[in-house]
A and B are shown apart, each in its own frame.
Chain A
Amino acid sequence: MEAHWNGGLKMVDEQPNAPRDEGGVVLTKEEARSRRARNIAIGLAVALFAALFYAVTIAKLGGAVAQLPPS
């Protein structure tokens, strides 16, 4: 499988045991650090989003949250 990126950049899948391409991109420390920081920020945002919807659901259900529907 092969995908084109921005016209000039190729992203190629390799077999798990295939030798790594020596010409591949190696992230600099700054690039790796910023990517890690972005990943942490996205993780926190998703967690906050889930917590928000949980809280809103409970608030909307109100006192009925513990009631079973009539059989």
Chain B
Amino acid sequence: MSDATFRIDDGRAPRISIAAPSDYFALLKPRVMSLVVFTALTGVVMAPTPPNPIIAFASLLAIAVGAGASGALNMWFESDIDALMTRTRNRPIPSGRLAREEALAFGLVLAVMSVFTLGLAANWLAAALLAFTIFFYVVIYTMWLKRATPLNIVIGGAAGALPPMVGFAAASGELGLSSLVLFTIIFVWTPPHFWALALLKSDDYARAGVPMLPNVAGPDRTRLEILIYSALLAPIGVLPYLLGYAAPAYGVISTLCGAAFLLCALATYRNREGEAAKTAARRLFIFSIAYLFALFLTLVVERILHLTAVTG
């Protein structure tokens, strides 16, 4: 087919894609991907023996691409509701820059490639776990839970909590207790983080028909749930220190950050009307990101300093 000509036999113009590489990159949800890479890196460095840096880099790249594939498949399935929400209506599919089929093909190809790359570069336990993570996020969370139950975030949070376990498995070939602790921290962190966002964007979710907790049980019940989960998260965040996986610096930082998280949750619980309520929810949402970043960064720095001291 060296010289092919396109003809239209029913008067419709063919759809020639004008998608730029940046549109495909946007399908990967780069901000989510960066958080996944960071938490997976924490899992890698928590492994008992440090992996070869090239294998570690290849593993993290595969995990990043796997996370991106999940994002692309999520945008493929959710393009209908993405078009209804202010937060998502400029995404490549609802804005018309990409066709749904293009996103589906892109996501599937990246998912398969990422799993096989991780299997070949690291090991097949990590690859199987990555495949399960993609399946859980796309099928269990996106296709089923998200539109079916207000507990979507609670159960679906497992998908976002798995990357440290994938990283740990890629580095060590097993599933250690320390990676399970990292999983638990992210799993318990997810509901208050997303419910704080849902409090701010409840109109969006209502328009799209997504049964987030504020729309189903009401904002007050959501604030109570946020407070309960934050009270659980504060001690769970200190577990890596209590179980001996982290140094005292982590113990201090995680305790202080846990207390600050709880204070933000308490402010969200108390301020229920007007601008004060929005400000409190926004502060909690922003601080929740800083909280997770601070804890995992401390773990990474501590571990790197430890490895440098041992090998140096």
B171, chain A: closest CB distance, angstroms: 13
Chain B positions 6 through 21: 1 when the CB is less than 8 Å from some CB of chain A, otherwise 0? 1111101011111111
B3 within 8 A of A: yes
B98, chain A: closest CB distance, angstroms: 11
Q: Which of B53-61, B245-253, B257-265 lies on the face that meets chain A?
A: B53-61
B54, A24: Cβ atoms under 8 Å? no
Chain A positions 30 through 71: 1 when the CB is less than 8 Å from some CB of chain B, otherwise 0? 110011011011000000010011011011100000000000
- Total contacting residues, chain B, CB less than 8 A: 29
B2 within 8 A of A: yes
B20, A38: Cβ atoms under 8 Å? yes
Residue of A21, A37, A53, A58 near B5 (CB, 8 A) is A21
Roughly how many angstroms separate A4 CA and B94 CA in the complex, as a whole number? 27
Residue of B1, B18, B19, B58 near A56 (CB, 8 A) is B58
- Which residues of B, 1-59, contact A by the 8 Å Cβ criterion? 1-10, 12, 14-21, 24, 52, 54-55, 58
B18, A30: Cβ atoms under 8 Å? yes
A10, chain B: closest CB distance, angstroms: 5
B120 within 8 A of A: yes
Q: Which of B2, B8, B17, B55 has the most CB of A within 10 A?
A: B8
B121 within 8 A of A: yes
A31-B18, A34-B17, A38-B19 given; A8·B8 CB < 8 A = yes
Interface size of A as a range? 35 or more
Chain B positions 283 through 309: 1 when the CB is less than 8 Å from some CB of chain A, otherwise 0? 000000000000000000000000000
Closest B residue, CB atoms, query A39: B21
Chain A positions 1 through 45: 1 when the CB is less than 8 Å from some CB of chain B, otherwise 0? 100011111111110101011011101101100110110110000
A16, B3: Cβ atoms under 8 Å? yes
B30, chain A: closest CB distance, angstroms: 15
Which chain A positions have C-beta within 8 A of B12? 8-9
Residue of B8, B17, B24, B58 near A9 (CB, 8 A) is B8
Which chain B positions have C-beta within 8 A of A37? 20-21
A12, B7: Cβ atoms under 8 Å? yes
Roughly how many angstroms separate A11 CA and B116 CA in the complex, as a whole number? 34
Residue of B9, B19, B52, B61 near A59 (CB, 8 A) is B52
Roughly how many angstroms separate A51 CA and B85 CA in the complex, as a whole number? 41
B19, A34: Cβ atoms under 8 Å? yes
B195, chain A: closest CB distance, angstroms: 37
Roughly how many angstroms separate A9 CA and B11 CA in the complex, as a whole number? 9
Closest A residue, CB atoms, query B121: A56
Roughly how many angstroms separate A41 CA and B55 CA in the complex, as a whole number? 24
Closest B residue, CB atoms, query A35: B17
B9, A34: Cβ atoms under 8 Å? no
A61, chain B: closest CB distance, angstroms: 11
Q: Which 10 A-B pairs have the closest CB atoms?
A: A41-B21, A59-B54, A24-B5, A25-B6, A21-B5, A8-B10, A9-B14, A34-B18, A31-B16, A10-B7
For this complex, 20 residue pairs linking A to B, each with C-beta atoms less than 8 Å apart, are A1-B1, A5-B6, A9-B12, A10-B6, A10-B8, A10-B9, A11-B5, A11-B6, A11-B7, A12-B7, A14-B4, A14-B5, A24-B7, A25-B5, A25-B6, A31-B17, A34-B18, A52-B117, A56-B55, A56-B121
- Interface of B with A (CB < 8 Å)? 1-10, 12, 14-21, 24, 52, 54-55, 58, 61, 113, 117, 120-121
Other A-B contacts than A16-B2, A52-B61, 7 sampled, CB-CB below 8 A, are A5-B14, A10-B6, A11-B5, A11-B6, A25-B6, A34-B17, A38-B17
